[in-house]
Structure 1
């Protein structure tokens, strides 16, 4: 099943937090999107594997993505190994995305930067014809995405460009709050974590608002690119 965009996250909720508004906007424009979660987030302080899976499915419904899969790699111990690379290669060849959105290139959680590099390397390897893969006992065609972009997470990273999500911030927030065990809930008896605070929840809005302020829109999400992006002309700026 070919999609236009494949969003990859080290943990369930990474994609929603980093680029949920962008995905909602692209889908509203008729683009197809799939999400790949590398781990189940099993080391998370709050919730369980089972609750995270239910929450991820609900978030996928809110965003209206075409598919979501979990590769069940080891949370907290991502590594750029051949085994993990090949698991992602199979997903890239399965979904044949034109664009891959991956974790931040540097972040507070070590899995995020590792996931970013792992996804990037898998995108390159997926285009090598001498690497043969099978899925459901069928040989796969080689495929290399045209563009690999990285969303921004906990740390402040200067974006190379932003996407206007002014009409889609509410969907982004709703997709994040589908993870009821993970984020701010004043009635929860679970231990407090940095992402479960009210301040963190509010930061989803004010970070998007600040990027919007800098770019002349209401709300925006920022990205970095692995290669120089060329524009055909200035039509979108005039």
Structure 2
């Protein structure tokens, strides 16, 4: 069950939008990535919980992830409770990731910032020996990820670092657009939403392009980090 990276999103499509290019790149480098969606996005104006699940399956297939699960928590009503923390602790201990990717620390949708804090607390609690959880009837080993990185979503948050996704931008866009009910479609009869506009779809490219411009690459995704990152040397820095 162990993976290198566990990417967690409040809603199906958060992962593809926020860090899809990074995930595609990591997988191309031989890393194993699992995805956890906290809700089914059932309150979304467009589509249904069922269509979101089908779209999530396709988005994950395009990225090449190893596994995808959904905790079926209530969309729009995420809270940092003991119950929800323990559900996430169980998943963390199941997959034992070195790195967790989580929602933006501040964002337009209130679930995103709530999920960020919820996941952060769960990662800490997952390392406590006196918290016992089980999986398939067996007591789980404790596990605390080494790093939590928060991807950037609607708001323009200044990243602590960026990942060069220049070779994976098209794959990211394809994974995002697997959510056909959610994004721009000139033939759709469903109500318009902020993320269903043509401008939002185009922003996926120009925002990544702007982070690339600032960092000297074609396209990039940005992340913030709770923990100060130490480099062993400068060999892997793109200048």
TM superposition score normalised by structure 2: 0.99
SS of equivalent residue, structure 1 residue 34: strand
The aligned counterpart of 2:103 is 103
> What's the counterpart of residue 51 of structure 2?
51
TM-score by length of 1: 0.99
Aligned to 1:72: 72
Structure 2 match to 1:62:
62
Separation (CA, whole Å) in 2 of partners of 1:236 and 1:42: 42
RMSD value over aligned CA atoms?
Answer: 0.6
Q: How does 1:12-161 map to 2 (within 5 A)?
A: 12-161=12-161
Unaligned runs of 5+ in 1: none
C-alpha distance in 2 between matches for 1:103 and 1:235: 29
CA distance in 1, matches of 2:161, 2:60: 25
Give the whole-Å Cα distance in 1 for the aligned partners of 2:157 and 2:235: 28
- How far 1:234 moved relative to its partner? 1.2
Q: CA deviation at 1:136?
A: 1.1
Q: Distance in 2 between matches of 1:115 and 1:103?
A: 6
TM-superposed CA distance for 1:51, in Å, is 0.3
Deviation sequence 1:92-119 (CA, Å, 0-9, x none): 0000000000000000000000000000
Aligned partner of residue 18 in structure 1, secondary structure: helix
Segments of 4+ in structure 1 off by > 2 A?
Answer: none
SS in 1 for 2:167: coil
- 1:183 is displaced (CA, Å) by 0.3
Aligned length: 238
Q: Distance in 2 between matches of 1:123 and 1:147?
A: 9
2:235 and 2:162 mapped to 1: Cα distance?
A: 17
User: In 2, Cα distance between the equivalents of 1:236 and 1:222?
Assistant: 17
Whole-angstrom CA distance in 2 between matches of 1:205 and 1:234: 29
DSSP 3-state at the match of 2:236: helix
Aligned with 1:168: secondary structure? helix
Residues 53-103 of structure 1, C-alpha deviation per residue, up to 9 Å, x if partnerless?
A: 000000010000000000000000000000000000000000000000000
- Deviation string, structure 1 residues 186-212 (Cα, Å, up to 9, x no partner): 010000000000000000000000000
Partners of 1:68 and 1:30 lie apart in 2 by 18
Q: Which runs of 5+ in 2 are unaligned?
A: none
